[in-house]
Amino acid sequence: MRLLAIDVGNTRTHHGLFIDHRLVQTGHGGSFPKADVVVAAKVAPAKLPQGTLFLGRDIPPLTPNRARQPGSVGMDRLAQTSGAWARAHRPLVTVSVGTAVTLNFV
C-alpha cells in the first residue's frame, strides 16, 4: 500500500510517501506523488489531493489535547505528538522548529 502523509504548516508543506510502512520519498511544496491513501495534518489552507483524510476530522490523534487553551494547538502538533507516542509508548517531549519553536509534553 502507498500512503502519503502531508504536513501543511503555516509557511511550508512537507510530505512523505510510505510503501508497506517504509518511508521511500520525502518532499515539500504542492506537488504530491500518487498514493492509495492520503492523510494530512494542516494548520493553513492548501490544495490537497481529492479524498484526503484529515487528522482531527477523519482520524483521531493518538494523544489527547489537554492544553489550557485546546484551540491554540494545531493539528501539526498533534500529529507530531501522536507519531512520537506511537514510537516510544512512554512520556516524552517533542520539539518543533518552524515558524515558531514549540515544546510538547506527552
- Each of the 106 residues of the chain gets a pLDDT tens digit; together they read 999 999 998 888 999 999 999 999 999 998 999 999 999 999 889 999 999 999 999 999 999 999 899 988 888 889 999 989 999 999 999 998 877 898 999 9
Q: Which long-range contacts (CB under 8 A, 24 or more apart) does 29-37 make?
A: 32/4, 32/6, 33/2, 33/4, 34/2, 35/2, 35/3, 35/4, 36/1, 36/2, 36/3, 37/1, 37/2, 37/3, 37/4
Q: Map residue 88 onto helix, strand or coil.
A: helix
| pTM value > 0.75 | yes
Cell of 11: 509557511
How many of the other CB atoms lie within 10 Å of CB of 63?
19
